[in-house]
Amino acid sequence: MNITKLSSKNIVCYTKDELKNIFEISKKIELVDEMEKQGISMQSLASDPNKMKTLAGNISEKTLKDTNDHEIFASVFVFVDFYGSGSEICFELKDSFNKDKDKIITLGDLNNFRSDPPDFIIKSSDGFREFELKRYRKGLNTDEIFQEVKKRIEHYQNGLGNTSLLFVLQSPEGDISKVNFEELNLRIKALNPKFRGQVLISYNEANREMVINQVLPNLTTTRIPVQLPSQG
């Protein structure tokens, strides 16, 4: 972990392994706390593997519902891998953070001190990329996705600067065959947004690959193999 400056702001940066370790320690502590609340012993878990699956599922569900934890989970277990080995995950810190007094050791510390936006920053060999992550749960078709992108651009009043909008498709529909990314690219460019970042759309393809489609300013596709947290 190191604290540095980016555009006059303090940011804290982690290697993937450092942040992964902080995240997993936090979730193990949550698991133990949940066991204590339910009066479940290690012996009963050993004799009934289904209890462990249920507990782990509960913790996973809480993580997905918690916006802060989900943003960190996505940055370390998914998106940093798109930007090359050795890339780091960074977070802008609140103005109230005092690097001489305040410590960031746990996941709770990080969530308390990090600022938003951006949700996270990727530091790679060619510089820093700032991201604002949005989960998308509506219809998987060109028009509905375009309307969501348009709404978000209007919400930020084109004040994103260099920050990229990253949409993660989580619709229960699952099938993206009705999404025309070429058309999305043309329609979003026609909005003439003023920010200098990208618009990116990410999704899990058949649990084999993670995909990021850039639909602003250009149209590109990047794929990496799906990697479960236990494999990272």
* DSSP annotation string for 208-220: TEEEEEEEESS-E
CB under 8 Å, gap of 24 or more: what pairs does 93-101 form? 93/3, 93/9, 93/10, 93/11, 93/12, 97/10, 99/3, 99/10
In this structure, the answer to whether residues 171 and 135 fall within a common structural domain is yes
Average pLDDT over the chain, rounded to whole? 89
Number of domains, the chain: 2
CB 35 within 8 A of CB 119: no
Same domain assignment for residues 117 and 137? no
In this structure, the answer to whether residues 18 and 54 fall within a common structural domain is yes
pLDDT recorded at residue 56: 65
pLDDT digits (tens, 9 = 90+) for 186-219: 999 999 998 899 999 999 998 899 999 999 999 9
Query: Do 153 and 212 share a domain, yes or no?
Result: yes
Q: Do 37 and 105 lie in a common domain? A: yes
In this structure, the answer to whether residues 135 and 69 fall within a common structural domain is: no
Helix axis angle, 16-38 to 49-65, nearest 10°: 120
Does 115 share its domain with 2?
yes
Domain boundary among 91, 125, 159: 125
Of residues 232 and 147, more confidently modeled: 147
Q: Does residue 140 share a domain with residue 113?
A: no
Q: Which long-range contacts (CB under 8 A, 24 or more apart) does 100-104 make?
A: 104/1, 104/12
Q: Check whether residue 98 and residue 184 sit in a common domain.
A: no
Q: Which of 125, 151, 166 is the last residue of a domain?
A: 125
* Whether the predicted pLDDT of 39 surpasses 80: no
Instruction: Decide: helix, strand or coil at residue 101.
Output: coil
Quote the domain boundaries for residue 203. 130-232
> Would you place residue 117 in the very low, low, confident or very high pLDDT band (cuts 50, 70, 90)?
confident
Examine the pLDDT at 52 and tell me if it is beyond 80. Answer: no
pLDDT band at 175 (very low <50, low <70, confident <90, very high): confident
Rounded CA-CA distance 141/158 in Å is: 24
User: Is 96 in the same domain as 121?
Assistant: yes
The band of 166, judged by pLDDT with boundaries at 50, 70 and 90, is very high
- Give the domain-ending residue among 100, 125, 150: 125
Phi, psi at 118, each rounded to 5°: -80, 160
Q: Which amino acid is at 32?
A: V
pTM: 0.87
Percent of the chain with pLDDT over 90: 67
21 pLDDT above the threshold of 90: yes
Please check whether residues 109 and 22 belong to one and the same domain: yes
d(CA 166, CA 188): 14
**Rounded to whole angstroms, how far apart are CA atoms 135 and 138?**
10
Cα–Cα distance measured from residue 214 to residue 226, given in angstroms and rounded to the nearest whole number:
19
Asked if 172 and 196 sit in the same domain, the reply is yes
- Please, which pLDDT band fits residue 134 given cuts at 50, 70 and 90? very high
The span from the CA of 180 to the CA of 171, in Å, is 16
